[in-house]
Chains A and B, each alone.
Chain A
Amino acid sequence: MPRDMEIALKNTKVAQKEKEPRGRSFFRPWMLILPPAAFFAVFFIWPLVQILAMSFTGPQSGLTLASYAKFFSSPVYLKVIATTFRISLVVTLVCLVLGYPVAYAMTVCSKRVCCLLTIAVLIPFWTSLLVRTYAWMILLQSNGVVNNILKSLGLIRQPLPLMHNELGIYIGMIHILLPYMILSLYPVMKGINRDLILASRTLGAKKGYTFLHVFVPLSMPGVSCGSILVFVMSIGYYITPSLLGGTKDIMISQAIQVQVNKLMNWPFASAISIVLLAFTYGILYLSKKVMHVQKLW
């Protein structure tokens, strides 16, 4: 650092200490938060509060818990929550297992390969979710590409049921969410100080040992951040499951969608939404406690 700058720095610190508390400027940095906070309060928080309020309304005027009673008294909806949870969990784990090596490869390869890999991850990320789901329909249906290839290779006689079931949901959702996982893992891995790896190696640790005991622990912030992001995003999915899934595995957003679009029962839809929201934040809270995640962003 240039010498004059250092002096300047020193001066600044002094100046800051002296001046800031009683500076003439009426400006404080937190004021910058006001415009976005106001925007959020009006167009996000207030509408959510209204949804909360609506969930306590019924056909008659006055407050009622009827929608919640309906939700919790019906085993069906608890099952839907369980299904949602299960699907999200599997999607998250598979994304982690698939994403980790890719992100790792991106950090160890040459710049050119890394760039290629990034592009390969970003192209699907940028392609419309609907279009990708459509592509999977082409691939997975019983006379689709995958089945035809397997058939022509003589591996199968009857087409495999690859969609209209939970497998279809998994394939579609993993494809859509995997880039999020990789993009969360990569910067953390990239930021890991290589000297630590080097140190471990020079101290005699084997490659595998170093990887498991030095690299992996250091990459944990990325793992938890990516996992939570993917998990929470998959909880809210409904377009992909409804196009690639079957009759049995209905996710909770699909249940809300039916209430909104088909039955026009908005209070009940609101109640399901509030439960879903509570569920989502419950998971976030738990994961913070258990996984010691400091922040999600």
Chain B
Amino acid sequence: MREGDNMKQKTCRGRVSRLTAGLAAASLIFSTAACSSGSGASAPSGSAGGKKWQGKALTVCSWGGAIQAAQKKTIFDKFAEKYGCTVAEDTDPSPAKVKAAVQANNMEVDVWDVDTDFAFRGEKQNLFEKIDFSVVKKDGLISNFITDYSVPSECSAICISWNTDKFSEQNHPKTWKEFFDTAKYPGSRTLYSNPMSMLEAVLMADGVDKGKLYPLDVDRAFAFLTKHKKDVQTFWDSGSQSVQLVSSGDNPLGELWAGRVIKAKEEGQPVDYDPNQAIITADSWVIGKGSKNVEMANDFIAFATSAQIVADYAVEYPGNAPCNNNAYKLMTSEQVGKLASSPEKIKNQVYYDVKWWVENYDSVYQRFQDWKMK
């Protein structure tokens, strides 16, 4: 059995060496992995030139789809051209993602295009860098939506929309009251799975004057919703889903973003919208806490909110409305007419009260969530 013992020792040694080899291999995996994760999109060191951010890269996270395509064309590419940098793009600027990046101390996105209410809420959670207002000009920007940490990027309209195979330009609900009138307009409804803007619509449907909405009577809104819950088949979560629900006829009536509807209509989908009684919410530019390009980010935001750029974007994507009132002066009346919201249309629309929502968002959203599950 001596030989066996020898064998054993040998294989023992063999095992050790293989083990270390295995460890080395494992650490190699990790290190190469780290490498491949580190070497992301490095900015091409472009042709020489005295532009301010020559060779730098800015990362912007926006909403994807048609919105971001329009932003790329009218904002990102123009900014890159002017400053000699590149603009890397990401999509889905969700609160969880911003918070994740801050917690991980790994802010890869410099500028985020977020919901304005989140811009307000995130400020409390210390998720953003302060805006440098010596660079970014407040002139013309809708003042309700400005904070120390954010400026509005655009306004969007939540509005009544319908499937054109089921309803028509003449025969469709024109007010939220009619929207919930199933006797007159049969079929199921889809609502945005977000109490913000929905409660406003509901209260208007219940007869509250648009000037007297705030502070919202939440109890009354939920009472009304409960009464009509059976007519609401779905609560949509994403813009793509909302258009699909209405255009497929699954839910011939919906509370949708005008921008999505306009885009889908252009592409031949059987959907349309009415700007009347639309609730105007906003998106905001913010700079992620820990961004390594804060100065460039401020330049970007200043650029993106300047009147001319805002006007160009609004022409490209008329589904939303400019956040900079000076932009209207730079547009033809025909171009303004296409917008979901304008100084003319706003008379029959309502700006949401972001301050009220910041105070009440969590509790109302929780309540909505609970109500939905009841």
| A residues adjacent to B (C-beta < 8 A) | 15, 19, 23-25, 27, 74, 76-77, 79-80, 137, 141-144, 159, 163-165, 242-243, 246-247, 250, 255, 258, 260-265
B123 in contact (CB, < 8 A): no
Output the nearest chain A residue to B366 by Cβ-Cβ distance. A263
In the complex, whether B175 has a CB less than 8 A from a CB of chain A is: no
Cβ < 8 Å to A, chain B residues 1-32: 1, 4-5, 8-9, 12, 15
Which residue of chain A is the closest to B98 with respect to CB atoms?
Answer: A264
Whether the Cβ atoms of B233 and A255 lie closer than 8 Å is no
Report 22 cross-chain contacts, Cβ distance below 8 Å, ordered by A residue.
Answer: A24-B9, A25-B8, A25-B12, A27-B12, A77-B373, A79-B374, A137-B244, A141-B248, A141-B250, A142-B249, A143-B249, A164-B251, A247-B233, A247-B234, A247-B235, A250-B372, A258-B369, A261-B94, A261-B95, A262-B95, A263-B369, A264-B125
State A77–B366 Cα separation when bound (angstroms): 12
Residues in B whose Cβ lies below 8 Å from that of A260: 96
Q: A27-B12, A246-B233 are in contact. Are A265 and B362 (CB under 8 A)?
A: yes
Q: Which of B1, B251, B370, B373 has the most CB of A within 10 A?
A: B373
Q: Confirm or deny: B167 has a beta carbon within 8 angstroms of a beta carbon on chain A.
A: no
B-side interface size class? 20 to 34
Q: Give Cα A25–Cα B4 distance, bound, in whole angstroms.
A: 12
A164-B250 contact, Cβ under 8 Å, with A15-B1, A25-B12, A264-B99: yes
B88 at the interface (CB under 8 A from A): no
Cβ–Cβ contact A79 & B373, under 8 A:
yes
- Name the distance in Å between B177's Cβ and chain A's nearest Cβ: 22
Q: What residues of chain B lie closer than 8 Å to A164, measured between beta carbons?
A: 233-234, 245, 250-251
Residues of B within 8 A of A255 (CB): 369, 373
* Interface membership of B365, Cβ < 8 A: yes
A-contacting residues, B248-303, CB 8 Å: 248-251
| Supplied contacts A15-B1, A265-B362, 5 more A-B pairs, CB within 8 Å | A19-B1, A141-B248, A247-B233, A247-B372, A255-B373
In the assembled complex, how far is the CB of residue B3 from the closest CB belonging to chain A, in whole angstroms? 12
B5 touches A24 (CB 8 A): yes
Contact with A along B211-250 (1 / 0, CB 8 A): 0000000000000000001001111010001001100111
Q: How far is the CB of B358 from chain A (nearest CB, A)?
A: 14
Chain A residues with CB under 8 Å of B237's CB are: 242
**Inter-subunit contact A142/B250 (CB<8 Å):** yes
Contact partner of A246 (CB less than 8 A), chosen from B94, B125, B234, B370, is B234
For A262, the closest partner residue in chain B by CB is B365
Give the distance to chain A from B152, nearest Cβ to Cβ, in Å.
21
Q: Do residues A247 and B232 form an inter-chain contact, with CB atoms below 8 A?
A: yes
- Per the bound structure, the CA–CA distance linking A57 and B236 in Å amounts to 32
B234:A74 contact, CB within 8 angstroms: no
B248 and A143: CB pair below 8 A?
A: yes
Across the interface, do A142 and B369 meet the contact criterion of CB distance under 8 Å? no
